[in-house]
Amino acid sequence: MPKLTTTTQFLLAGIAGVLMSAQIASAQDCTPKHEFATIEPGTLTVAVTTYVPHSFIDDSGNMKGIDGDIAAEFAKRECLKVKAIAVDPAAAIQYVLSGQADITTGDWYRTAERAKVMNLSAPLYTDQMAVYSKEGFTNVSDLEGKQVGTVQGYLWVADLKTLLGPSLKLYPNSVNMQQDLFSGRIDVAVDGYSTGVVAEQKGALKDVKVNVAAPDDRVRATKEAAQAGFPYSLNATDLGVALDARIAEMHADGTIVNILKSYGLDGTAANTGAPRLVE
């Protein structure tokens, strides 16, 4: 490398100073709208479960999924770094309750029972009920007179039990249910729409079609689907104010719709309606 002249050195030093000043100014340009404490100052600590497409950590160690992208956008708008901690779903809530994480991701239902021990953010999206069938069924009436399977724990299970009686078979998970659907042991399956979209993208559903269930008064979940939110500590009320305000912004400016669509969903799940709790 040739030796730099004094003039050149002076010019380079000046350029470096300008760049450094620009970087400092850029960092200072980010001004949060809200004041709230986090477990680690300047950082949003997130307990990330693996529940595709809602929540997961990618190969680079980045928080992803619908919930993950919304949480990352919240952190960006509030000038926070993100610290993602991979956790088992069974331990995620405890991470928040014990003060190891500010929030957790993973399609967490806003339930009355959960609200007794922690706060829940404004609704992010709804967990839509979907019908899985080779025929492309969309109506609850299409289920009548058929062998139907669904997964335990969903909001629609009780209503389907009342409607279908012994024709309804419950499964511990989606994989077992789908196997019976493929083999013909059940005629139709009912599961979450987002789960089906992921399975379709992977080619795992073969010739089975997944459609959001049409509204039907007999199954409440078709008209008032469960709302998902971010669980956070009862003591973190200022964080909750910021979360709710930013979530409202992201609904208004289309961010949440775009995030849903980026994972293959149609975006209608962003129409959450007024906040409500699953009893």
Give 5-40 pLDDT, tens digit per residue: 444 344 444 444 433 333 333 344 799 999 999 999
- Structure token digits, residue 80: 């926070």
- Structure token digits, residue 163: 């409607």
Matching CATH topology for 43-126+226-270 and 129-222?
yes
Name 16's Cβ contacts closer than 8 Å, sequence gap at least 6.
none
**Residue 231 pLDDT greater than 60, yes or no:** yes
The pLDDT of residue 9 is 42
Coil, helix or strand at residue 56: strand
Task: Return the domain boundaries, the chain.
Answer: 43-126+226-270, 129-222
Task: Give the distance from CA 204 to its chain's centroid.
Answer: 22
The pLDDT of residue 175 is 86
Euclidean distance between CA atoms 222 and 216, whole angstroms: 6
Architecture of domain 129-222: 3-Layer(aba) Sandwich (3.40)
**DSSP structure class, residue 84:** E
Euclidean distance between CA atoms 108 and 143, whole angstroms: 27
pTM over 0.95: no
Burial class (CB in 10 A: 0-12, 13-18, 19+), 243: buried
Euclidean distance between CA atoms 76 and 58, whole angstroms: 19
Burial class (CB in 10 A: 0-12, 13-18, 19+), 200: middle
CATH fold of 43-126+226-270 reads D-Maltodextrin-Binding Protein; domain 2 (3.40.190)
* pLDDT tens digits, 55-101: 999 999 999 999 999 999 999 999 999 999 999 999 999 999 999 99
Mean pLDDT of 116-128: 96
**Residue 237 pLDDT greater than 50, yes or no:** yes
Structure-model confidence comparison of residues 9 and 105, the more confident one: 105
Mean pLDDT of 134-153: 96
